[in-house]
Structure 1
Amino acid sequence: MKKNLSYLLAIVGAFTLYSCETEIKTNAEYKDITVVYGLLNPNESNHYIKITKAFLGEGNANDLANNSANFNYADGELDVRIDEYNANSTFVRSFSLSRTVNEIPKDDGVFSNTDNVLYKFVEPSLKKDYSYKLNIVNKTLGKEITSETKIANDPSLTNLNQITKLKLVNSSGSYLNHDFNIRTGANSGKVKVNLIFSYANHFTDTAIQPEVKTVKISLGEQKTTTTEGGDILVFTLNGANFFSALTNSISASVPNLNYRRINNCVLEVISAGVDLATYISVNEPSTSITQNKPEFTNLTNALGVFSSRNIKNIYTASSGFNATNPSTENLNGFDNDGQTNFDNDTKEKILTMGLNFCDPFNTSTYAPRCVDVISNWNTFNP
């Protein structure tokens, strides 16, 4: 009986306690938490910084995320600038960033994409030996956010002269691999390499412009051993993987397709700045049983990362790989003479994969000759 009474008193006490408070507050008092993502690319002119705020509120989280006012700062609320300093740490100039809305569309997702707010400045020639300091001032709260980054310098292909034509299969049909030796640039923490295979769809209706398409084939990524640059990282293009990627990415049947023409490929080398490489590494899936991961940000009074990313394309010509885009070929990889940087065995393999590729020289016994529907490949740039 005494035991039952104790249970009863506990239950009554609980109801009495909660009856004093008609509304339970589940959220702590709001605190402004700024989240910043910015990557400067020395090979681009337009530079964007994403600045949002973490939010917390009563109600359904999806409904809150669907309202962009919950995570975007209001127009005029932030003052954003980037200061440039030379190699001697002497101030050179400032860039004032303007607030843009939907200049770059946001993909669909949980968060509202009605207003994609980015902060932008234009500079076609960021100096690769300079430092750039980010300064964000929340004029409403009097809060200042700062960060600093150096620019990831250009990588280079050290075996450029040894590469003439890509040979990924031999005359007997055996697949071959191809190595690219990349020398890292200064201020780089990680390098990723892709081979971009380019081709053009031509249609039976000549009123339809040819359509340039690409297949991106990853050669992997590697961390650098020094931030000073000069590492030699070897990336291997696997011949079997190359042809599998074409088979899996290129549809054999396209409405009104007449034929496809092979273009030159491009080697895309992406160098992550040191802090960006650290941020990526910290946020990789944990292999620990506890799943504990350290937090990393290089911003004061904010979360996220402000760093650099160098995207360098090593263009290709019919004679092989070149450090700069040849004047006789445009950025889409069209070659005026119909040549490509694939050797004959590799090209013959592509022509016989059943993907409707044509032969510009009528040398293949399996593929039809290309009949160009435009007279000047060099000026065609859709």
Structure 2
Amino acid sequence: MKNILFAFSFLFVLFSGCSNELDIIAPQEEVMVVYGLLNASDSIHYIKINKGFASEDDAPIVLAKDADQLFFDSLLVTLIDKSNNTAVVLSPVSMDKNAGIFNNTVNYVYATNHELTVNRNYGLKITNLISGKVVTANLELVGPPVAKTPTIASINLYPIESGKLMTINYEADMRAAVYEIRLNFVFEEINSITNEVKLDTQSWVVSSGKFNDQKRILIRLDGQLFYDNLAATLEQKGPEITRRGKHLEFEYWSGDKELSTYIDVYGTSSIGVVQKKADYTNITGGYGIFAGRNSYKITGSSLRTEIKNELKTNPVLTPYRFVD
């Protein structure tokens, strides 16, 4: 389910880089291309707005390569809480961006640190103060899941043993349509020569997909898969480096129906770069996506003794020198 993983991390791609594989077509109709993925857990919320050009046929909508043509000169961007009809004005900010087909000297997005509330309806309204054109979109923020196994109280006792089943069980918010579960392993690297101790994390996407009507996820996997994934992602280092496991983190990501539909249409190849006029958008008067997601994390503080022992004795981890 690479599409799901991409969707939950695509803001990084949208705001920092672009593909180099894009054919520029002659500009005709000027359009607004909007991307926003709101998460109540985020401290800052971003909306990306670019100027695009649409042809009369089904050719892609293309963003401008020239920085002077990529952004609108004067926009009023507001986020509206539909429960009380209050509006927050977003401010333009500059963000770093990698070189690509778009001009990489400047990259503007609109941002606010306003605290959002889950399960509320929010509207986005963008007004071009020069042309008078208005673009709108709406969403209902996804709420957090209810964790059954593990929980905050039980994560330090969570068992992961080869040959035995590890269980992940939780209930999602009723508005969630897609999900991703990540298991993060936090460990130390100790250098016996310099005495330097470095903290590191390896992340494993345990499962991803779409919810059924029950909005419940129950996963049972052989614990050996955890150790196999760890061995496949760790780097072998010199004999002076040993490692020590510290704790586990479970991350539960979910997205709304709009995000689920967008994933179905675009997959992983074109988000933020090219769109076709016949493809999906939920932006009224423009193109792009305005969707909601939720992230919820359970963080432990220690590991079970059985996990510490298996880190040292499991054959697939022998080259990585785990110690007590």
TM-score, normalised with respect to structure 2:
0.77
Counterpart position of 2:75: 78
What SS does the aligned partner of 1:181 have? strand
Q: CA deviation at 1:216?
A: 1.3
Counterpart check, 1:346 vs 2:295: no
Counterpart position of 1:331: none
- Structure 1 residues 302 and 70, CA, compared in 2 at 3 Å: closer, same or farther? same
Q: Structure 1: how far apart are the matches of 2:230 and 2:277?
A: 38
Counterpart position of 1:53: 51
Q: CA deviation at 1:158?
A: 1.8
Q: CA deviation at 1:240?
A: 3.8
Q: 2:246 aligns with which of 242, 248, 263?
A: 263
Counterpart check, 1:234 vs 2:234: no
Counterpart check, 1:97 vs 2:90: yes
**Superposed counterparts of 1:2-17, under 5 Å:** none
In the alignment, is the contact (CA less than 8 A) between 2:150 and 2:158 conserved in 1?
no
> What code does the residue aligned with 2:175 have?
N
Q: CA deviation at 1:116?
A: 1.9
Q: Structure 2: how far apart are the matches of 1:270 and 1:297?
A: 22
Percent identical pairs in the alignment equals 25
> What code does the residue aligned with 1:97 have?
L
Q: 1:187 aligns with which of 149, 156, 175?
A: 175
Bigger RCO (CA 8 Å, 6+ sep)? 2
In the alignment, is the contact (CA less than 8 A) between 1:145 and 1:301 conserved in 2?
yes
Q: Structure 2: how far apart are the matches of 1:49 and 1:189?
A: 22
Q: CA deviation at 1:300?
A: 0.4
Q: CA deviation at 1:341?
A: 7.5
In the alignment, is the contact (CA less than 8 A) between 2:29 and 2:54 conserved in 1?
no
In the alignment, is the contact (CA less than 8 A) between 2:182 and 2:206 conserved in 1?
yes
> What code does the residue aligned with 1:346 have?
E
Q: CA deviation at 1:355?
A: 0.5
Q: Structure 2: how far apart are the matches of 1:108 and 1:190?
A: 31
TM-score, normalised with respect to structure 1:
0.66
Q: Structure 1: how far apart are the matches of 2:250 and 2:217?
A: 14
**Superposed counterparts of 1:1-382, under 5 Å:** 30-55=28-53, 66-74=65-73, 77-86=74-83, 90-91=84-85, 93-102=86-95, 105-123=96-114, 125-160=115-150, 164-169=157-162, 175-204=163-192, 206=194, 208=196, 210-226=197-213, 231-253=215-237, 257-284=240-267, 295-318=279-302, 339-340=303-304, 343=307, 345-349=309-313, 353-359=318-324
In the alignment, is the contact (CA less than 8 A) between 2:127 and 2:134 conserved in 1?
yes
> What code does the residue aligned with 2:131 have?
L
What SS does the aligned partner of 2:313 have? helix
What SS does the aligned partner of 1:265 have? strand
Q: Structure 2: how far apart are the matches of 1:158 and 1:279?
A: 29
In the alignment, is the contact (CA less than 8 A) between 1:65 and 1:111 conserved in 2?
yes
Spell out, residue by residue over 1:186-231, the C-alpha distance to the aligned partner (whole angstroms, 9 max, x if none). 32111111111111222345574x32222111122121234xxx62
What SS does the aligned partner of 1:153 have? coil
Counterpart position of 2:19: none
> What code does the residue aligned with 2:139 have?
T
In the alignment, is the contact (CA less than 8 A) between 1:197 and 1:264 conserved in 2?
yes
In the alignment, is the contact (CA less than 8 A) between 1:41 and 1:310 conserved in 2?
yes
Q: Structure 1: how far apart are the matches of 2:82 and 2:142?
A: 15
Q: Structure 2: how far apart are the matches of 1:65 and 1:29?
A: 9
Counterpart position of 1:325: none
Spell out, residue by residue over 1:136-178, the C-alpha distance to the aligned partner (whole angstroms, 9 max, x if none). 0111221100011111110122233687332231xxxxx4442
Structure ID, larger Rg: 1
Higher strand residue share: 2
- Structure 1 residues 312 and 27, CA, compared in 2 at 3 Å: closer, same or farther? closer
In the alignment, is the contact (CA less than 8 A) between 1:283 and 1:293 conserved in 2?
no
Q: CA deviation at 1:344?
A: 5.2
Structure 1 gap segments, 5+ residues each:
1-25, 58-63, 170-174, 286-291, 319-338, 360-382
Q: Structure 2: how far apart are the matches of 1:252 and 1:306?
A: 42
Q: Structure 2: how far apart are the matches of 1:196 and 1:253?
A: 21
> What code does the residue aligned with 1:67 have?
D
Counterpart position of 1:5: none
In the alignment, is the contact (CA less than 8 A) between 1:37 and 1:305 conserved in 2?
yes
What SS does the aligned partner of 1:50 have? strand
Structure 2 gap segments, 5+ residues each:
1-23, 56-62, 269-275
In the alignment, is the contact (CA less than 8 A) between 2:253 and 2:295 conserved in 1?
yes
Q: Structure 1: how far apart are the matches of 2:64 and 2:306?
A: 49
Q: CA deviation at 1:358?
A: 1.8
Q: Structure 2: how far apart are the matches of 1:293 and 1:145?
A: 16
Q: Structure 2: how far apart are the matches of 1:211 and 1:80?
A: 43
Q: Structure 1: how far apart are the matches of 2:25 and 2:218?
A: 51
